[in-house]
Amino acid sequence: MAQATRDVVGDVLEKLSGLKAGQLRLLMRQVGAKYRRELIERWQGWAQPGQCEPPGDWRIWMIRAGRGFGKTRAGAEWISEWARMVPGGRIALVAANDADGLRVMIEGPSGLLAVARSGETPRWIGGRRELHFDSGAIATLYSAAAPENLRGPEHHAAWCDELAKWPKGEAAWDNLILGLRQGEAPRVLVTTTPRPTALMRRIMALPGYEETRGGTHDNAYLPSTFVEAMLASYGGTRLGRQELDGELLEDVEGALWPRALIEGCRVDADSIGKYVRVVIGVDPPATSHGDACGIVVAALLRDGRLAVVEDASVDNPPPAMWAQAVAAAAARWGADRVVAESNMGGEMVEGTLRHARRRGEQPVDRVRQFPRRLPGRRSRRDAHPARSVQQQTLRAFLCNQKGRRRDHRFTSHQIDEIRRQLIGWRAMDARPSPLSLSGRGRASIFPDINRRMAVPCRPFFSPTWCASCARRAGPDR
């Protein structure tokens, strides 16, 4: 009898391969109820390609897919198989919060309890937030909202669900990875619908990263009416591309700096030509939770273009370190001035750099503070003028390359991080540290150059600009 059952299931699995979605649904309805349990347990036989573990010596596997693709089922099957293979192993389950983890990863219709094989009896111990497998492996549920709970425990494997919506994603991920050190080859699976977050981009750039992808329409077991309704409502839209197709959209809806605008303002470093003046903007970290010190170098070119030529920002440095970074950038580019804003550490910037100069470390003796501003809504004020200039510049450049509007252009090999942050920043968001004064492209540098270098001209944001100012500005560098 058992042999007959295996033969029937084997025949069904063989027919599953190569079938279209409609044919697959029809076949599944024809399978008798007594065979369905064994068929369901033959996961590798009917899983979609995007749900299967990739080959090779990877450390991070991300299933980046749309809603309803089967990410949760794939994650639960992978963890269950890991628990069978590693008796006594320690597994981390990380969700955006405790409720999501319990409702989806543990007790959900595609969760760990649901995918247990016949004869297996995994036990959920709620008080300890642990799932005990028959092999002795233990999976512990963690919340990304409480990343400190991941500090200390060690694991053989981990499953991270919906990473794109983790509230404290950076800290939770760092603590998880630092503890993923048990066994010979610890691995982590990430299942998520993508969003253009800094953490997602960071993970996708790590060594040992592999990904599989899929969309809502790839799951042949979803009701056809649901798929048709979703495609009718969201097909071809930004939301549909992200939530149904699993596409990672670089442009954030509401962003002040669309990708097309940024890409249109890029230029090869070798083509920026000669420059007549260089200003370095400094935005020191204002908090203790890992802000970078923004250090950006902007140059006024002979043809009137303004080029952001280097991002020399330093992550979470002490004052002595970022002062040295400013000094080094000033020496590399022969900077004329260092710029800071008075209400965001301007006095501290000036004092630190002057102290460094007395020690012989700072070649720039002119540190300018911008006028004091009232706090609040600062980031949007900083970003809007620069964006307006770039839009004017881009239009003028496309129409007439010899136009008189200034080109604020990013050099291609140095400013990738600036580009990513500008594309992803919206006016209502808390600013990333690189978006302010030296914050990797802040507009306040531009008026400073204009007042010093083009005094006879109209205000900087005027559509006209006197090209003779560049000739009066000083010698070539």
Average pLDDT of span 17-33: 63
3-state secondary structure at position 195: coil
**CATH number for the segment(s) 48-243:** 3.40.50.300
CA dihedral 332, 424, 433, 188 (to 10 degrees): -100
Question: What is the H or E stretch that residue 312 is in?
Answer: none
Q: What percent of the chain has pLDDT over 90?
A: 34
Domain spans in the chain, listed from the N-terminal domain onward: 1-46, 48-243, 259-473
Give the pair of three-digit tokens for residue 151.
Answer: 């500090």
Question: pLDDT tens, 253-303?
Answer: 666 566 666 666 666 666 667 778 888 888 877 665 556 788 888 888 777
Question: pLDDT tens, 378-432?
Answer: 444 444 444 444 443 333 222 222 333 344 444 444 455 555 555 554 443 444 4
Q: Check if the beta carbon of residue 367 is closer than 8 Å to that of residue 338.
A: yes
Which segment of 29-38, 128-137, 388-397 scores lowest on mean pLDDT? 388-397
Tell me what pLDDT residue 59 has: 97
60-65 and 209-214 as β-strands: parallel, antiparallel, unpaired?
A: parallel
Q: What percent of the chain has pLDDT over 70?
A: 57
Q: Check if the beta carbon of residue 304 is closer than 8 Å to that of residue 312.
A: no
Q: Does 133 have pLDDT greater than 80?
A: yes
Q: Which residues of 368-391 are buried (b: 16+ CB within 10 A; e: fewer)?
A: bbbeeeeeeebbeebbebbbebbe
- Banded pLDDT at 157 (limits 50, 70, 90): very high
Question: pLDDT tens, 211-261?
Answer: 999 999 888 778 888 988 998 998 888 888 888 988 888 766 666 566 666
Average pLDDT of span 173-182: 97
Tell me what pLDDT residue 277 has: 83
Q: Does 355 have pLDDT greater than 90?
A: no
Average pLDDT of span 442-463: 34
Average pLDDT of span 435-450: 40
The CA distance from 274 to 307, in Å, is 11
Average pLDDT of span 94-99: 96
Question: What is the H or E stretch that residue 337 is in?
Answer: strand 337-341
The CA distance from 373 to 456, in Å, is 26
Residues β-bridged to residue 93 = 141, 159
Q: Please tell me what DSSP assigns to residue 420.
A: H
Length of the chain: 477
Average pLDDT of span 164-170: 93
The CA distance from 70 to 65, in Å, is 8
3-state helix, strand, coil in the chain (%, to 5): 40, 20, 40
Q: Which CATH architecture has domain 259-473?
A: 2-Layer Sandwich (3.30)
The identity of residue 134, as a single letter, is: D
Tell me what pLDDT residue 429 has: 46
Half-sphere exposure of 378 (CA within 13 A, CB side): 18
Q: Going along 177-315, which residue ranges are E strands?
A: 187-192, 209-214, 266-267, 275-283, 292-301, 306-311, 314-315
Name the residue with higher pLDDT: 128 or 14.
128
Average pLDDT of span 362-375: 43
Q: Does 113 have pLDDT greater than 90?
A: yes
